[in-house]
Structure 1
Amino acid sequence: MYSGSLTSSIAKTKGFTLIELVVVIIILGILSVVALPKFLNISQDAHISTVKATGGAFKSGINLAKAVWATRVGSGPADDLQVFGTGKDGELDFNDTGWPAQHWETADSKGDSPKLDNEADCISVWETIFEGDEPSISEADSSDETDYKANYLSPERCRYDYSANTNLSISYNSIDGSVTIDSDPDS
Structure 2
Amino acid sequence: MQSPAIFSAKHTQPQAGFTLIELVVVIIVLGILAVIAAPKFLNLSEDAQVAQVKNTGGAFKSGINLARSVWAVKVGSGPAENLPVYGESDDAHVDFNANGWPAQHYFTDTEASPQLDNVEDCISVWQIIFQNDEPTVSDAAKADETDYKATYNSPAACTYQYSDNMNLSISYDSNNGSVVVDSDPSS
Opposite residue 74 of structure 1, the aligned amino acid is G
Which segment is superposed worse, 152-161 or 136-145? 136-145
CA–CA distance in structure 1, aligned partners of residues 116 and 42 of structure 2: 40
Deviations 1:143-163 (A, max 9, x none): 221111111100000111111
Q: Is the 8 A contact 2:160 2:170 kept in 1?
A: yes
2:63 alignment partner, one of 61, 64, 76 = 61
1:45 alignment partner, one of 44, 47, 53 = 47
SS of the equivalent of 1:161 reads: strand
Opposite residue 127 of structure 1, the aligned amino acid is Q
Which residue is 1:142 aligned to?
A: 142
Which residue is 1:111 aligned to?
A: 112
Which residue is 1:132 aligned to?
A: 132
1:34 alignment partner, one of 23, 33, 36 = 36
CA shift at 1:24, angstroms?
A: 6.5
Q: Is the 8 A contact 2:105 2:125 kept in 1?
A: no
Which segment is superposed worse, 21-30 or 156-165? 21-30
CA–CA distance in structure 1, aligned partners of residues 126 and 31 of structure 2: 48
Gap regions ≥5 residues in structure 2: 1-7
CA shift at 1:19, angstroms?
A: 8.4
SS of the equivalent of 2:117 reads: coil
Matched residues, percent identical?
Answer: 63
Which segment is superposed worse, 118-127 or 23-32? 23-32
SS of the equivalent of 1:101 reads: strand
CA shift at 1:32, angstroms?
A: 2.9
Superposition TM-score, scaled by structure 2 size: 0.80
Which residue is 2:3 aligned to?
A: none
CA shift at 1:166, angstroms?
A: 1.4
Superposition TM-score, scaled by structure 1 size: 0.80
CA shift at 1:31, angstroms?
A: 3.2
CA shift at 1:17, angstroms?
A: 9.9
- State how 1:91-110 maps to structure 2 within 5 Å: 91-102=93-104, 110=111
- Computing the radius of gyration from Cα coordinates, the structure with the larger value is 2
SS of the equivalent of 1:41 reads: helix
Which residue is 2:89 aligned to?
A: 87
